[in-house]
Amino acid sequence: MNAKRIRLGALLALLVLVAAAAWRWQAITDWVALRDYTPPTTVSQLAAEDTMTPEAEHLFYVNHPRVVAGASFSSHCPSGSEKTVVLGCYLSPDKGIYVYAVDDPRLTGVEQVTAAHEMLHAAYRRLSSGERSKVDGMLEDYYKHDLTDQRIKDTIAAYQKSEPHDVVNEMHSVFGTEVADLPASLERYYKRYFTNRAAVTTYTANYQNEFTSRQAQIAAYDAQLAALKRQIDGDKTELTAQRSALDAQAAQLQQLKDSGQIAAYNQGVDSYNTAANTYNESLAATKDAINQYNTIVAQRNSIVLEAQELTKELSSSSLPD
């Protein structure tokens, strides 16, 4: 019995030593990575705007984050690696964080959310097995029982297809940066990385609104166009009938005139003129409706073009190889 206890004690001591050595090795590795590193202003500004805690800043800076564009970004980040509305990548284990430079003021916030998203990937990798098991449980419980945002659901579904073995890792980054209201347990957990997580989710909401507001406007225009088209089609049918009736009246009046039935002719002229005025008024109204339709089409196409431009700026497939 004593021998078994001795062996068990020795095993536990060995495990403690291994864990301590691993922690010490990580600390040494981090010290080497940060020894001569001074974050560029663009990088430190992202950390400040994301309200990163000292622990989060440490994880962020260990990866020597870079804000880059074009071929420089493409050379480091695999195309389409993220399924959510961020442009960046984390190269595990702690081999770099890259954030795509987005200059369009309408998309202010993309860089901040991307930086926070990728930092959380680095944070997830550092979790101990016990911590990760607990965090995974909270994330999966929220996903299964409380998540209502369809865009986020679609994002996770995309990761389930492309990265089925890394879905919870993605949940960890997506929920932490894109979901404003989380269960209290997850909110407490994310305080480890953000002093004000709402600052990050506000960035998300703001640039998402650039898309959703345009989508809503396009939908409103489509509804107007559909109603106008029904109206114009109906008006054209009515105008055709009125035109046929007028032509028939005109032919009848001509016959009366030719046959010398002047009294009957004069009596029919007033009725014809009234019908002609009605036709001309209907024709003018239809032309106005057509002009309105064409104006709305132009407005809709302008909004569609803006939406396409924004989507292109956030599409890694549009980046040069």
Tell me: pLDDT of 81 over 80. Answer: no
More confident position, 6 or 312: 312
What value, to the nearest 5°, has the Cα angle with vertex 47 and ends 58 and 80? 95
Q: Cα(99)–Cα(233) distance, rounded to whole angstroms? A: 52
Length, in residues, of the chain: 321
Q: Which residues on adjacent β-strands are paired with residue 90?
A: 97
Task: Please confirm whether the linkage preceding 93 is cis (ω < 30° from 0).
Answer: yes
Distance of CA 260 to the CA centre of its chain: 77
Q: Cβ(21)–Cβ(170) under 8 Å? A: no
Q: What is the pLDDT of residues 165-205, one digit of tens each?
A: 999 999 999 999 999 999 999 999 999 999 999 999 999 99
Residue 152, both tokens: 């986020």
| SS3 assignment, position 40 | coil
Average pLDDT over residues 269-283: 94
The pTM is what? 0.77
Pairwise CA distance, residues 213 & 223, whole Å: 15
**Separation between Cα atoms, residue 42 and residue 46, nearest integer Å:** 6
The pLDDT assigned to 84 comes to 61
DSSP 3-state of 26: helix
The answer, yes or no, to whether residue 82 has pLDDT greater than 70, is no
Do 53 and 192 form a contact (C-beta atoms < 8 A)? yes
pLDDT at 20 over 60: no
